[in-house]
Amino acid sequence: MVREHFTQKMTEVKQKVLTMGALVDNIIDSAVTSIQTQDLELARKVNEQDDEIDQLEMEIEKECIMLLALQQPLAKDLRTIASVLKIITDLERMGDNAVNIAKVTLEIGKEPVIQSIIDIPKMAEIGRKMLKMSLDAFVNEDISLAQKAAERDEEVDSLYESVINDILNIITEKRELTKQGTKLLFLGRYLERIADHSTNICERIIYMITGELKEIN
């Protein structure tokens, strides 16, 4: 009976992690869309979305602590709870990075955005795919998928280098774009960090399944 209760609670916790992941994906999409379309109202709503993520993180953390205190899990169950606590931290930080992207949107306002920076949307697309793959790997306990998701981080890093080079070239030629260029450099960094957090999640998934904690790449 105790085991059945634990299994049911872990299923509920995992479902909440997936819900949190979906909220994070949505907030990233909103933040990136806000800069692409210069939708300032959408950028302002990102903060409200982040509040939902923070609230859900606290709920999941509380439930994990209760499971640790009352169920005394061993072996893989203990690794699963420990991994969930790490995963929700990474998800929350991804949400924070999305908020930072929205702040860049608000800072730039209606000033025409440098249009030649095409790699920023590509970074966002890959970052969101990494997030989805990592969540699928989590729920299905798929080591191979987790590894594939983490490997895509190299693509994001490469695009980030291109973003840096493109912006530096632009602001070298047009000094009046230095202020906006600097903001876009930060935006690229936020997207790069989102991909890094997905990689962290993948590493935790592999630890959860195998008991081995090691860096991917």
Alpha carbon distance 77, 12 (integer Å): 14
Q: What angle do CA 66, 85, 17 make, to 5 degrees?
A: 95
CA neighbours within 13 Å on the CB side: how many for 198?
A: 37
Q: Is 67 helix (H, G, I), strand (E, B) or coil?
A: helix
List per-residue pLDDT tens for the chain, 217 residues long.
Answer: 467 777 888 899 999 999 999 999 999 999 999 999 999 999 999 988 999 999 999 999 999 999 888 777 778 889 999 999 999 999 999 999 999 999 999 999 998 888 656 788 899 999 999 999 999 999 999 999 999 999 999 999 999 999 999 899 988 888 888 999 999 999 999 999 999 999 999 999 999 999 988 777 6
Residues listed for the chain: 217
Element (H, E) at 216: none
Question: 159: closest CA among 114, 191, 202, 115?
Answer: 191
Question: Could you name the CATH architecture of 2-210?
Answer: Up-down Bundle (1.20)
Write the Ramachandran bin of 75: left for phi over 0, alpha for psi from -120 to 50, otherwise beta.
left
Contact 98, 35 (CB under 8 A): no
| Amino acid residing at 39 | D
Alpha carbon 64 to chain centroid, angstroms = 21
Alpha carbon 76 to chain centroid, angstroms = 25
Give pTM, 2 decimals: 0.93
Q: Structure tokens of 189?
A: 């960094």
